[in-house]
Chains A and B, each alone.
Chain A
Amino acid sequence: MILDMNEYTGMMSKLNINIIYSGPMWDDGIKGIAEMVKAHLAHDDLSVTASKSIFSVFVEQVTNMMMYSAEKEKFEQPGSKPVDVSIGMLVLGHKENTFFVQTRNVIKNENINIIKGRIDHLNTLDKKGLRQYHRERMRDENDNPESKGAGLGLIEIARRATAPIEYTFQTINEKLSYFTMYAEISQTIQEAN
């Protein structure tokens, strides 16, 4: 039976959602969504700092999900072997002068305190402090070439966000939880700095 699309568009506009995706985060699919986000941002009349900040937060949140989602699915692209890809959900939204990126993925419960500790620490730092902390972490990571630099991704999100990073953990069972992260970027970021 045909669905009433007004219900969907109505819900999206009520929740200030521009782009929403839920499912496997395979490389080419995510690059396609990134392309869409970029086009969306180019359409709005944003400063270079605002549009790059929003795009950067999007890229780092998605990368975090792709690396750390504890929920995987076999995914097969035409012409290549099936690979395990992360499952996750992302939303890009816009209300008044603020853009937001919200992501959700499954994590192992044993990682909750690590993630919580990292974000809480970043939220105590101001922009100058974050810049300094980023330099220190870069120096540390230089001694550890195998690291993918995930800590740096979270720092990047905190540096570009114009409000503290928000998050929740929702228990699924004794092993797993949903981790939801929200970061917002004010369109007037340039004047704020």
Chain B
Amino acid sequence: MAFRLEREKTRTAPYILIDEENRYIRFEGESYLEDIISFFMEINDWLRKYLSSDFQELTFDFALRYFNSSTTKQVYNMLRLMDARAAGKKVVVNWIVFDEKDDMLIECGEDFQEEMENLEFNIIIQVNE
């Protein structure tokens, strides 16, 4: 059975989807003032298992509008995990920014992009009408 996890967003916790069947992860919303370590535990457990399997591809749509420094750290760790297993595979991160003036989010994406060696990291400005 392919793993699937879907969590509705709250005011301070993001929407999260892990859809192993479609090799897809999505984060959306905001993330702050939460017990972030336990929150990411389940995600990382699955991620480690998936990355050590004979996988071919994985896409991660990252669409958080605001996240605090503890979340930044957790996301960075996730990306490093993915990057370490990405050589020869199709691992794609789409860093989705909803406001072209959001320098904070764009800068953070640029820094993460530069830190990664093997995965494909796209910064996408997606302004909704």
Residues on A facing B (Cβ under 8 Å): 27, 30-31, 34-35, 47-49, 52-53, 55-56, 59-60, 62-63, 131, 134-135, 138-139, 141-142, 145, 147-149, 152-153, 155-156, 160, 190, 193
| A142 engages B66 (CB within 8 Å) | no
Q: Encode contact with A along B90-118: 1 for CB under 8 Å, 0 otherwise.
A: 00000000010111100100010001000
Knowing A49-B104, A190-B103, say if A134 contacts B73 (CB, 8 Å). Answer: no
Residues on B facing A (Cβ under 8 Å): 11-12, 32-33, 37, 66, 68-70, 72-73, 76-77, 80, 99, 101-104, 107, 111, 115
Which residues in A have their C-beta under 8 angstroms from that of B76?
Answer: 138, 142
User: Main SS of chain B's interface residues?
Assistant: helix
| A142 engages B70 (CB within 8 Å) | no
| B101 engages A142 (CB within 8 Å) | no
Which residues in A have their C-beta under 8 angstroms from that of B33?
Answer: 27, 30-31, 34, 59, 62-63
The residue on B at minimum CB distance from A49 is: B103
| B68 engages A56 (CB within 8 Å) | yes
Q: A34-B33, A60-B68 are in contact. List 16 more A-B contacts (CB 8 A).
A: A30-B33, A35-B11, A48-B101, A48-B102, A49-B103, A55-B66, A63-B69, A131-B111, A134-B111, A138-B76, A142-B77, A142-B80, A149-B73, A152-B70, A152-B73, A190-B101
The residue on A at minimum CB distance from B40 is: A145
| B73 engages A31 (CB within 8 Å) | no
The list of the 4 closest CB pairs from A to B, nearest first, reads A149-B73, A152-B69, A156-B69, A153-B69
**Alpha-carbon distance A83/B99, docked complex (angstroms):** 40
**Alpha-carbon distance A63/B67, docked complex (angstroms):** 13
| B70 engages A138 (CB within 8 Å) | no
Which residues in B have their C-beta under 8 angstroms from that of A60?
Answer: 68-69
